Structure formats: structure tokens, C-alpha cells
Structure 1
Amino acid sequence: MFAGLATLTGLPMTASAAPLDSGVAPEIVSAMRRDLGLTEKQVHQRLAFEARAPQLEKAAREQLGTAFGGAWLDSVGGELIVGVTAEAGDTKVRLDGVRTVRVARSLARLEEVKAELDKNVQALSPDIHSWNVDLPTNSVVVYADVSGQSKRRVDDFLAVSSGLKDGAVRVVASQHAPEPAYDLRGGEAYYFGNSRCSVGFPVNGGFVTAGHCGGVGTATFGHNRVAQGTVRGSVWPGADYAWVQTNGSWTPQPWVYNYAGGNVVVHGSNEAPVNASICRSGSTTQWRCGVLQAKNITVNYSVGPVYGLTRTNACAAGGDSGGSVISGNQAQGVTSGVAGTCFDSSNPQTFYQPINPILRAYGLTLRTTGGGGGSGQSFVSRLNGKCIDVPNSNFSDGVQLQMWNCNGSNAQRWSFVNGTLQAGGKCMDVAWGSTANGAAIQLANCSGNPAQQFVLSGAGDLVSVLANKCVDIVSHNTNDGARLIIYECTGNPNQKWDYR
């Protein structure tokens, strides 16, 4: 190791380490096991450490100052690695969970080299695909086609960089030129003109998505082709973000569709570090997971460069543009483009626009659950502001559900689990599997049968999949104790719900 710098290990993933509850939805755990080749225990341990990583990185940056060479997770997520230049001298990084390594260049130097390339727009050609600071290799990587005559054009582009002299720049051969993933959606599809894109993340008053999915003034239609809203802000190229203001028929909710019959709830938008686990949702490739590979990438699309993107190997394909990118329960960004897809590449790359710059640009507020660790949310009636409630917290089979003043108790906390709605370890259920108007909504032992499958629509209808009817407050009763049934969907307030 290098003189004067402490090497402190944190919480490595070992067989003897105790399981950690990362507080994330089970569908995320399942997808990470499938796509990252981890055990369930490793998934929870990884996510638990990743939640600490942003604070550790901030502390290390403050301690090292100009000697800071960036921070990234090791391959299993058990340690945060911090690069340190020789200028650090005797400065020590005293943080549990941080391992230091000597690097030749500071992060500030690498960002300076990248900025030189960002300014060299005149020398761009389609042969140059993207470039970014690569923290683990302490270099600026340029992905480009270097075959034949293309190499000369790449050399012309690199000629302005001072990084050529000190080895800060390296070129990696790239076979796939990035292109916007136009006909795409994120969690749910939306349509404009003859095109389809994806909802990224709901915000108060609408949702964010990709800028190449419609200019200002474009009318949008939801997944059901119902009039949805209007694009109020859009930037493309340069950046790739937009926001859509929705009409009163649509209610923004704090979740991402997981394509397994349920939703992943969003708790915030803390930016994940390099090598963090990433999952994304889209209509073509549905739910896919990978890792965050690099940040602040400049991608040279056919229409011009886009700056500040992030790259992941959670693959995508045509039809996924604008879609949600999430790490654990933290929103990360909206899908921008791909270089190689789930179907034609063994090493696909997906580029996404980070979400926080979008929120800042338009003064938007992300729809979130307000925290929590997967303990569920309440269904609040638009008729009377009361919550769906288990009477007297009696979690017994056959108890009919009611309305009650919202109190935040477990009797009013519901979680989507593979299409079912669960509270206290039991499932919301249509009594006796009936499809008739007036059938009681009750609590029952979870069996996964169709009588326990429910979907909350964007318009606020909580619909029984079995009966294709709405959860309804009997006789529009606004009092505590009003019972719940299923009934033909009418659009009336006694059938409208907000999940929060």
C-alpha cells in the first residue's frame, strides 16, 4: 500500500456475515439474483452497504480535497474504494468501509480532460460513440469505431486533449453507435403522434421522461390511449429530459411497474455510486437489472452530443425510451439510448439521463412514499379522505374491510406483492371468489388465486382482476365503519383511491 494512508475494511460479503434487511421490494431482490448472480443474502448485504456509500464518498472527498481520485464500489459491493493521489501526503481516510488505492490522477484532473473533449464538437463524427471518466482505471475512456479510416477521425477528435500526453485518455473499440431508444416506455407506456415512449418517474402534476420523446406542446396519451397531458419542457440534444403535465384523469403515484403484477415504490432520488446495482423498467424488455458503470458520460448521438449521462449494463431495446431507472428504492434517471440491446449484444450498454438535474431544471417534486422500509402504504379515499382499514387490527381470515380515519397503523398499511395487496401477512380478497356486484372485500389467507389480484389504475380505480370491477364504499357512506364491496366501475369518488 502507500505511505501515510490507512486501509480500513468495512462489511465484505462473506459466508459468515449475518443477513441484512435492505428494506426493498421482493421483486428487486428476485431480479438482482437473476441478473447479477447473487444469493438473497448477498443482495441484502450489497444494498445495505450501498445505502451508506454516498455518505462515505462525501466524507472521503472532504478529507482528501484535491487529492481525491474518485470513489467506486468493489465488484461485490462490500467496500467503497477511494482513489488517492500522491499529493495526499500523510492524510488518512478514517472511514469504516473504505479502502484506499493510489491513483496517478485526481478526479478534478480527469474531469478537466473530459471537459476538453466536450468542447471539441467541431471534430465530432459518427465514429465517436461516447466518452466518460472511468474511475476504476483512473482514465477518460473514449468509445469509438477505430477500424479503417475511422481511426483518423478519432485521432483528430483526441488531438485537443492534454490527456494524450500523460496517459489520461484511452480508446476502447466500440461496435454499436448509441441511438435514442425512440418507441419506448418506462414503467407504463404513453403515446404521442405515431410514437410510443415511457413514463419515467411521476412528479407532482405529471411525470418526467426523455427529451427526445416529444417537444414542448406535444399532446400525450396514456397506455389506455386516453388523453393524458402535454409536454411542458423538453431538452434534446445537449441533454435528454422532458416533463409532461398531466390532466385531472391521471394521478401521479410513487412507484415503478415491475412487470410481475406489482409496483416498486420510490422513496427518494439519492444518486447511487459507480458499481451500484441498477434496475430499469420498459415495455419491450420489461424489468432488467445490472450495475452502474460510469457517470457524466458525453454521448454523441446522430443529432449531436448529449452531456452528463450515466451508463449501465441493465440492457434495453427499442421501445424503452424515457423509462424508469432505479437503484433499490431510489430513483436514478430516465432511459435515453442504447449501444447494443438485450437481443443483439453480449455486452449491451444503456445510457440514462440522471433524474435530479431534471427535477432542478423545472422545479419539480418527485412523488415518493416519504421514506419507510417497505412497510406498505395507505389507500386514501377521494370521497372522504379516510383509509382502507382492518377492523380492530384483527388480521383473521374472513374479516370484512372497512373505512376509518387514517392513523398510520399497520391495520391501514398495504403492500403490493406479486399482484396481491397484503397487510399483516394476509391478502385483500373478494369473498368466495364472487364476481357479483356487492361481493364483500375481506382479509384472507394468501393463496395467489385471482380473487386476490388487484390493480390500481392511473385514474385511481382499485380494480379486482377476477371480476373486472372496482373496490367501492357501500352507498357512498362517508362515516367510519363503512364497508367495502366490489361494484361496476362508475368513476364516482367512492371508487377513487390514492396510494400514499
Structure 2
Amino acid sequence: MRRTLRARIFLSVLLTVPAVGLSTSTAAAAEPEPRPGVSASPEQYALDAKLQRTLGSQSAGSYLDSRTGELVVNVTDTAAAEKVQAAGARAQLVKRSTDQLEAAMETLRQRARITGTSWGIDTSTNQVAVEADASVSEASMTLLKTVVSELGEAARITRVPGVFTKEVSGGDAIYGGGYRCSAAFNTVKEGVRYFLTAGHCTNLATSWSTTSGGSEVGTREGTSYPTNDYGLIRYTDLSQPEGTVNLYDGTYQDITAAGDAIVGQAIKKSGSTTKLTSGSVTAVNVTVNYSDGPVDQLVRTTACSAGGDSGGAHFSGSTALGIHSGSSGCNGTNGSALHQPVTEALGVYGVTVY
């Protein structure tokens, strides 16, 4: 029982295309109205991954239709659309390829890498969605707007409240180096148990406990920050913690698989400060420019979060999706929470969720 409780403390933690008349995307640069996310099925995760591998540069990303729940795959030519149709997803013909959108983000990196900004690909509008927080000065905002304007319809910009920050704080959950973070997912490798958390947390300390000043329960095995934001902590005893995430209502979500988040899908975030919050995925391949350096290839969601939630779990049903990195705060129920895709960390460390 004691071991089960310890584990629970640690885990506060998606074609039908007619022969003619492909759907097309002619998105304007305006900010789209937020829509609630929809659930992704295991079959949609698998189909999406398969199509991205098969299509390669012929794909311009994918998303879940918020009205129908269908997996939509963006393509730039009819030959690719036929492949999508044959696989059983819906194709959408778009103006810009992933390479073109990534070129737009490279322009932002070269000319407007400003602390307090982030950018990523909103596949539902076939655009680069740029955000600037409250710390961005008027002079910097003018520069950012100039660069975005030169990118035309390929990009749009939004001011967000608060300041993009890594959400570490002093308090309660997992403690190391005088800081509080949250754990994401329990993992295993060759019978040895570990848990994942944020790299900016594992950079702070080698030894971790479940109470401030308490006895050690885990030691740092690996850490990567900035550029990435993940770290691995090895349990220092022989406990067999459950592979669950705390839902903060007395129940726990079993985690049995890991996947990559899809724009438009509904997610939940479990962290030691804001507990369980919900949102949807709004952008992938996101770069955020924190004050101490950029982190790339994140996922942006609308879940709420706050200091101490760093390292917490982003998930959907029994599928692990990400490790909480940070946000610009929360405005009502609309946040801008960022997560490190969990699949990358699992691959780097050779561990698996269970």
C-alpha cells in the first residue's frame, strides 16, 4: 500500500474524397474562433502516424475536425489526396506545404527570436500561429508584426496575456534543489522503474523527494534543456509504482500507450498546482522563446496551468501525449500550455509507459 501511495503522489499528474471537388483551405490571416477539442481514437493515432510516414513531404500535417471528429490530412496535390483516401482518412488540399511553413518559422527564428514569443504550425488553418506575451515591448512587437506581415497569409499573430515561463515553483509535489515540479508518467526499462518530468526541472537537482526536505525517492538519470524539455528520474528503491495519472477527484487514469498529439484533439493536463485541467491542441512543432533559451518542437494547447505544474502529464484517455513545459498563464478557461512530446523522451531514454 505504501508503494501504491507513493506512485500516486508522483503522478500528479486522429477519406472520403470524391473524385472531383477536393476540400480546399484558403485560410485568411485572422485568428480562428476557438473550438472544443474532440477525442482521438487509437485507430486515428495509428492511421495518422502511418500516413505521415507514407506521405513524407507530400503531407502538410493533419488535424481532427471539431465538428465530425474525422482525421483530416492536408496535402498539396491530388496524387497525395488519393493515398489519403485509400487509407481511410479525409484529404484537404492546401496552399502551403510543411516545408513552406517551416521556412516561415525559420524566418521568424532568424529575424524575430524575441523572448516572450512562440510560434508553431496550426494545421487546421495551414498557418504558422505566432504568439507574443505581455513582456514583449512595443518596439519588439513592431518588429514581430513586420516580419509576420512579410510572410503574408502563411502566418498570423496574437497577443496573449501573462508571460511565457517555465512553471517551477516552491511548494508541494516532487521536490529538488528547493524547487517544486510535477511528475508526468511512470516508465520502465529492463525491469527498472523511472518517471519522466521536465528537463528544466531535472537541470535543477539530482535528488528528488515527495515532500520538501524529505527523504530521497529518486535520482536524476538524464536531463535535456533548453532546445528540449525532458528529464528522467530513477526510483531509488524497489517499488513497483502504478502506471497511472492523478485525476484529483480520488481516481486515477491508467496509462497504457504513448502517442503524438493531433491539432484539434481534446487533452487533459494533470499537475500539482492547477490539478486536472482540460483543453485542446492548437499547434504543433512549436518554438517558445523562454528567458533562458528557446525550446523547439513543442505542442501548444489551451489547458490552464501555473507555477509548479512543470513536468506534469498531458494525456488523452489512456494515451500519454506530453510533459508539461510552461505557459503564458491562464485567462479564464483559455490557457496557452506547452508540452514536450513524450514520444521523443521515451525514444531517447529507451523507456516505455505501462
- Give the TM-score range, shorter chain: 0.7 to 0.9
- Aligned partners of 1:5 and 1:92 also within 8 Å: no
Q: Which has the larger radius of gyration?
A: 1
Aligned partners of 2:62 and 2:93: how far apart in 1? 12
Match of 1:227 in 2: 216
Give 1:212-291 correspondences, 5 Å limit.
212-215=200-203, 218-223=206-211, 225-248=214-237, 250-291=239-280
Counterpart selection for 2:176 from 192, 202, 205: 192
**1:69 correspondence with 2:56:** no
* Counterpart secondary structure, 2:144: helix
Aligned residues: 321
Please list every run of 5 or more consecutive structure 1 residues that lacks an aligned counterpart in the other structure: 9-35, 39-45, 369-500
| Equivalent of 1:52 in 32, 43, 49 | 43
Give, as a single letter, the amino acid of the residue that structure 2 aligns with 1:190.
I
Structure 1, residues 180-232: CA drift from partner, whole Å, max 9, x if none? 110289xx921113221111111122211011113276211124833212112
Q: Which residue of 1 aligns with 2:154?
A: 168
Q: 2 CA distance for matches of 1:80 and 1:195? A: 41
The reply to whether residue 151 of structure 1 matches residue 173 of structure 2 is: no
Shift of 1:105: 0.7
Q: 1:383-405 deviations in whole A, cap 9, x for unaligned?
A: xxxxxxxxxxxxxxxxxxxxxxx
Give, as a single letter, the amino acid of the residue that structure 2 aligns with 1:173.
R
Query: 8 Å contact 2:311–2:325 — kept in the other structure?
Result: yes
Structure 2: distance between partners of 1:37 and 1:152: 32
Question: What per-residue deviation string (whole Å, max 9, x for no partner) do you get for residues 35-93 of structure 1?
Answer: x989xxxxxxx54x532222333454467554422210011452112223246488463
Residues 95 and 319 of structure 1, relative CA distance in 2, 3 Å threshold: same
Distance 1:178 1:115 in 2: 20
Q: Distance in 2 between matches of 1:124 and 1:364?
A: 34
8 Å CA contact 1:184, 1:320 repeated in 2: no
Query: CA offset at residue 249 of structure 1?
Result: 5.5
| Mapped contact 2:170–2:178 kept (Cα < 8 A) | no
- Cα pair distance change 1:59/1:273, threshold 3 Å: same
- Is residue 203 of structure 1 aligned with residue 187 of structure 2? yes
> Root-mean-square deviation (CA), in Å?
3.2
**Deviation at 1:278?**
0.6
1:130 alignment partner, one of 118, 132, 139: 118
Partner residue in 2 for 1:110: 101
1:363 aligns with 2:331: no
Specify whether residues 133 and 365 from structure 1 end up closer, same or farther in structure 2 by C-alpha distance, changes over 3 A only: same
Change in Cα spacing, 1:107 to 1:154, as seen in structure 2 (3 Å) is same
Residue 132 of structure 1 deviates from its aligned partner by 0.5
- Tell me by how many angstroms 1:312 deviates: 1.2
Aligned partners of 1:301 and 1:3: how far apart in 2? 45
Residue 312 in 1 paired to residue 301 in 2?
yes
Contact 1:50 1:276 in 2 (8 A): no
> In the alignment, which residue of structure 1 is the partner of 2:13?
none
Mapped to 2, the partners of 1:262 and 1:313 lie a distance apart of: 23
CA–CA separation in structure 2 for the residues paired with 1:340 and 1:247: 34
1:338–1:349 Cα contact (<8 Å) kept: yes
Change (3 A) 1:198 1:93: closer
Q: Aligned residues: percent identity?
A: 34
Matched with 2:317 is 328
Measure the CA separation in 2 of the matches of 1:256 and 1:192: 21
- Write the distance in 1 (CA, Å) between the matches of 2:342 and 2:249: 24
By relative contact order (CA 8 Å, sep 6+), the higher-ranking structure is: 2
